[in-house]
Copies of this chain bind each other. A is one copy, B any other.
Amino acid sequence: MPHDADLPVSRPQTTYVVEHLRTGFIENGAGAGSRLPSIRRLTRELAVGRNTVIEAYEHLVAEGLVHSRPGAGFFVAERARSGQEDTIPVSLADVTSENWRLFEQDDTRLKLGCGWLPDDWREIDDLAHAIRSVTRQSRAGVFDYSPPLGTPALRTLIQQRLRRLGIETHANQILLTGGGSHALDLLVRLLIRPGDTVLVESPGYYNLLGLLRLQRANIIAVPRRADGPDIERLEALLLEHRPSLMFINSVFQNPTGTSLSAPIAHRLLRLAERHDVRIIEDDIYADFQNTPSVRLSELDGLDRVIYVGSFSKSLSCSLRVGFISGQPELIRRLVDVKMLTSISAPHFAEQVLATMLQNGSYRRMMERLRVRLARQMSATLALLRKAGWQIFDAPAGGLFVWTRHPDIESSQRLVAHAATRGIALSPGRVFLPEARDTPWLRINVAYATDARARRFLADPANDRA
């Protein structure tokens, strides 16, 4: 009879304590047999209720990670099948488990720290129309595998859209994927061998960091500035570490919300050429931008730059479509990886998206969305400034603000305070390759004008709702 180790933890505070113990003690700690903090100590240190701590310990005992000795306290358990743990680096847990809770349907917290649009912002009519139209008109869309590169009509539509960004490519140099993360994953698998050195931005997209850890890459981080990566530091890192690959999020970077400037793009490319580094340009927020700024793929002509785009952030997180564009030989090899690992991407989603690109409903939806997001961005920046938060750099658009409160040195504490007030935040450390605690935090502006968010942002140190 299986035990219930994976039953979701129902309360956000409990999740917080579970993850605090899991990542802070059990997985990175002193190993089997070590004593864990007492209930009293955790209650005080984490500013949560006694019952919350007890519930967290009960969960960990049920999971087999902790055992209790009556009268003596809680201890890290011996793990069954200990060989298994080695197959994923332990540090992976730092960027994973505490974030997945945000994806649960029954999570009623305000998702101020999440990376997607609120459900009530979604417009159903045009999308439902496209779904009905594909279902009626395309047996292939309903039943068949998508071709290896993806639906040809959609690739042509994407090619035309890229041209508007100044990126010239061929429809046969576009490979469709099941979203942006899937695109990054295919590239990671093709281009990175365990032990390879790769450059990322810090702070940067946490899922990418996890993905690189999963592939056992050697991760080197270049600081992200308001106008792109720190070029002086980048040059030094290129000389010292000789990476073969660099990841950059050019526009509305996750988590800082900043965009690459033209001069930095130019200098970055020159450095990449001199040091023979390939660049993966993650541009999944492209459609959130009113007027295109410069892209590396535009300057470089997709020679050493590989472009990643996505519609998952804008259209739907369920009907996921992303894509990669690059040199023909690269795309040919990516087809192998895509087919072996998933046999084509979801055909139905590709056809629904193609329908909406063709009839103009996607364009009109994005126009409305950009207006709404711009209003939220102004309101959020005003809220934050008024309450004394420091802003990394005011973004020109997109979803994210990277911010810190001068009185609070630990975003872990902020996350804990927010949890007691029904708000889900992602701690800043998940965006840092070294996963250390930081005062910085990513705020999703689409959620920031909710009354709960307003109260929290105005007085973040108060941990009683």
Which residues from chain A sit less than 8 Å from chain B, CB to CB? 1-8, 63-64, 80-81, 83-84, 87-88, 92-93, 96-97, 99-100, 103-105, 116, 119, 122, 124, 127-128, 131-132, 135-136, 139-149, 152, 168-170, 172-173, 178-179, 181-182, 185, 189-194, 207, 210-211, 214, 244, 302, 316-320, 327-333, 335-337, 339-344, 346-349
Give min CB distance, A337 to chain B, whole Å. Answer: 7
Contact of A316 among B4, B143, B316 (CB under 8 A): B143
Q: A142-B124, A207-B340, A332-B5 are in contact. Are A105 and B147 (CB under 8 A)?
A: yes
Q: Is there an interface contact between A145 and B317, defined as CB atoms closer than 8 Å?
A: yes
Q: Is there an interface contact between A210 and B142, defined as CB atoms closer than 8 Å?
A: no
Q: Is there an interface contact between A329 and B80, defined as CB atoms closer than 8 Å?
A: yes
Copies in the complex: 2
Q: Is there an interface contact between B320 and A87, defined as CB atoms closer than 8 Å?
A: no
Q: A96-B336, A336-B92, A340-B214 are in contact. Are A140 and B119 (CB under 8 A)?
A: yes
Name 26 interchain pairs, CB-CB below 8 A, sorted by A: A2-B173, A2-B328, A4-B170, A5-B329, A8-B172, A84-B330, A87-B192, A88-B190, A88-B336, A92-B336, A97-B336, A100-B148, A100-B336, A103-B339, A105-B147, A122-B139, A122-B143, A127-B142, A144-B317, A146-B318, A178-B178, A178-B342, A185-B340, A194-B194, A210-B336, A317-B343
Chain B residues with CB under 8 A of A320: 343, 346
Chain B residues with CB under 8 A of A119: 139-140, 143-144
Give min CB distance, A247 to chain B, whole Å. Answer: 14
Chain B residues with CB under 8 A of A135: 128, 131-132
Contacts A63-B329, A84-B330 known; list 19 others, CB within 8 Å. A2-B328, A6-B332, A63-B328, A87-B192, A88-B190, A96-B340, A103-B339, A105-B144, A119-B140, A124-B142, A128-B135, A142-B319, A145-B317, A181-B341, A185-B340, A211-B341, A214-B336, A214-B340, A320-B343
Distance between Cα atoms of A128 and B147 in the complex (Å): 22
Distance between Cα atoms of A185 and B116 in the complex (Å): 26
Chain B residues with CB under 8 A of A97: 336
Chain B residues with CB under 8 A of A349: 346, 348
Q: Is there an interface contact between A172 and B4, defined as CB atoms closer than 8 Å?
A: yes
Distance between Cα atoms of A330 and B349 in the complex (Å): 30
Chain B residues with CB under 8 A of A7: 172
Q: A84-B329, A139-B124, A318-B141 are in contact. Are A169 and B2 (CB under 8 A)?
A: yes
Q: Is there an interface contact between A328 and B6, defined as CB atoms closer than 8 Å?
A: yes
Q: Is there an interface contact between A88 and B341, defined as CB atoms closer than 8 Å?
A: no
Chain B residues with CB under 8 A of A142: 122, 124, 127-128, 131, 316, 318-319
Q: Is there an interface contact between B190 and A87, defined as CB atoms closer than 8 Å?
A: yes
Contact of A64 among B1, B140, B173, B329 (CB under 8 A): B329
Distance between Cα atoms of A98 and B253 in the complex (Å): 40
Q: Is there an interface contact between A179 and B103, defined as CB atoms closer than 8 Å?
A: no
Q: Is there an interface contact between A317 and B347, defined as CB atoms closer than 8 Å?
A: yes
Q: Which residue of B lies closest to A312 (CB)?
A: B343
Distance between Cα atoms of A109 and B317 in the complex (Å): 36
Most chain B CB neighbours (cut-off 10 Å) among A169, A336, A347: A336
Q: Is there an interface contact between A319 and B340, defined as CB atoms closer than 8 Å?
A: no
Q: A5-B332, A318-B145 are in contact. Are A207 and B339 (CB under 8 A)?
A: yes
Chain B residues with CB under 8 A of A145: 103, 116, 317-318
Chain B residues with CB under 8 A of A191: 84, 87
Contact of A214 among B84, B179, B341 (CB under 8 A): B341
Give min CB distance, A62 to chain B, whole Å. Answer: 9
Distance between Cα atoms of A4 and B143 in the complex (Å): 29
Distance between Cα atoms of A124 and B341 in the complex (Å): 27
